[in-house]
Structure 1
Amino acid sequence: MPAAAAELARLARLRGTAPAWAAAGTELVEAGRIEEAQPALCRALALDPADPASWSNLGFAHLQRHRAEASAAAFAHARRLDPALAEAAVGQGSALMLMGRLREGAALYEERLRLPLFQPPRRFDRPDWDGSIRPGATLLIHADRGIGDAIQFIRYAPILRAQGMRVLFCGQESLLGLLRSSGIVDAAFGYDDELPPYDMHAHVMSLVHRMGTGLDSIPADIPYLHASQAAKDLWAGRAAGLEGLKIGIVWAGSVHFRYDRVRSPRLEPLLPLFGIPGATAVVLQFGQGRDDMAKFPLPAGTVDWGCSLQGMDNTAAALGELDVVISSCTFMAHLAGALGRPVSVLLHAGSEWRWLRGREESPWYPTARLYRQTAPGDWSGPVERLRADLAALAERRIALAGN
């Protein structure tokens, strides 16, 4: 993609037409080269101010730098030119939610359901839930994207059940055991399972809108997920021999997520978090991200649990043995937050609306602390701040133990 962006930018300079600059700007946004994308899109719009796609892409360029007001204005202009442009509605909704205008933004964000990226892996034959509470009725909630989304928004299930509704879940197989052990839904099923009768269905991310959530009414009672007793027994005592502050670390998310290269710091920038005096670093990384350990050997004393994490129930029990979890914007951050575990979240400059902007805390997860990039692509700042906080915490633990 970077090569394609560079070639399109070269052609745009040669041809000088609106479509050429628009194509270059679009590709540059996708490649994360925002400082180059914005002038290319502005050039395209100077030549053709009636192009809704260029206005929408300009909105996404602003959004990736948290210029939410400029982003929302660009998306609104795109929608005036083309009211059917779902991408612009989704983008405007994201910008508004980033600003904290959850109700207004979540309503627009529902337009994502018209986009192929957000289609569920199976069809559901009952009506969409309109948000009306119907005691005695059965609502099927299904995951429409990643595991982190399901973990974050399944929090609404106990609220609905307390109002007399029966709630089922359909989603990723790795989540089912944890949801069952938590008792948060009446029953949980995989995508390929035969489903019992239900009255209506809802995408799990749509619950923010359907429940009318505002910034002042985010349900944040934690923990709302709990590992099973069997998983707890399996992990009990695993951390007993580890010295000092026990810090779990994850540095990469799923490579299938289109912007993981931007949101995941990978291992190298996080090396200062290993070897903190009075602390033991525990690797929680699994999957393709583990390849980094071959390139950057970790200090002696580092413990590796990454290969032992199988499913969310097992992983939840492992997190219960740690003092702090460090993660980028991946499901591990959501899991730790939902379990009520202290979690430090490393966020890139264009982090998603769910983390809001300019805040060090999260209204979704009271035990979370947010460490944000101040310069796009540069993880040194947030990692340095996090290391200082962890070192101070480790020192306090040592001082308390000596008293």
Structure 2
Amino acid sequence: GGRGCVILCAAGNANRPVNGAVDEKGWPNNILGDRTKWLAGFAVHPDVIAVAASTSLNKKAAYSNWGSSISVCAPSNNAPPGTWLPETGFIATAPEVTQYLPGLGVFTADRVGAVGYDPGDYTNTFGGTSSATPVVAGVAALVLSVNPRLTAREVRGILEQTADKIVDSEPDPQLGNRMGNYDPNSRRSDWFGYGKVNALKAVEAAVRKGGGNPNIGGARFSDISGHWAQKFIEALAAGNIISGFPDGSFKPDDSLNRAQYAALLVSAFSPIPSVPATNFIDVSASFWARSAIERANRGGFLSGFPGLKFGPNQNLTKTEAIVSLVNGLELKGSNLDVLKVYTDRSQIPNFGLSAIAAATALKIVVNYPARDRLSPRRDITRAEISALIYQTLVAINRARAIDSPYIV
């Protein structure tokens, strides 16, 4: 039905980047040495959910591959890393890991009799990213079982946004890397992606996204109680469109940059490509929001600046946000006379006049503290973008109206 196929791939068990280079040394007969490039071709595909392995103790599995393409992780065993080379067959990667590696394998049904991992019909030692990946695939199947209308991208978004933020601050026992903490902007880590998959939270989010009630309370953040945008923020969080920070806060009055906004657009609207992608010179291949920026750009929501620049860290203004939503969703225009409702309408940039008029007519615009004051040139806050996004969903019949005195 055009919703796409959910495809998962194991990240690999060499304790190497899925796409990157490592200074190799200590391999037998110098099979590998110097700066060596590594690539897990399936795992880095943008439409594949790449799965890493944590241990039963919420630590990195010593063998698990890592990098910016990791989506989520799941529990598996722990063991020294290894890989397959044409010259040697399977071989442990260098340098040798000799320390004790705690962590239990996955208990699962096995092939009947001696042809499986175990002489019996079950095994308790199934491991590697090969056992982590079917765990995530099973959760994806549960998600689709309660909401079969989800697209493949929406399933991926639910898995990522409901994952548990497990943290491993210890150095990797083989290479000494420390990648078990989460970037404050992207809220992901190279070891665990967006975190350890959580079946219960993922299923509850899928039920909400389909308009159902999973019989639990809405999302709550520590710093939005009594905030003017609380209803909008909680509604988007309940729909698994936005999330807060690891400390439980939402930071509603913080500004929003263009990269963060692109990620929010993808989560809310799953843009369908309509124009060729722009290769922005200031968005590197490893930038945390590259995929979201490309999807928002190709979907018609966000364009760049002269010189093939996107400005990912540039704050978004309220006018830019409204123009983006109207253009990306191709919302119909309105007579500019509607702008007379704003006392500061003279401050609206010319490029935003028709879009703001259309958004006003559709009741998308939300102004706080004064409904008649737009503040079109000011940087938009996380609370304001939440209100705009929610009202846009209402306008396209994807959300129920919320009663607020600040809706224009």
Q: TM-score, normalised by structure 1?
A: 0.27
**Greater share of helix residues, 1 or 2?**
1
Using structure 2 for the length normalisation, give the TM-score.
Answer: 0.26
Greater relative contact order (Cα < 8 A, sep 6+)? 1
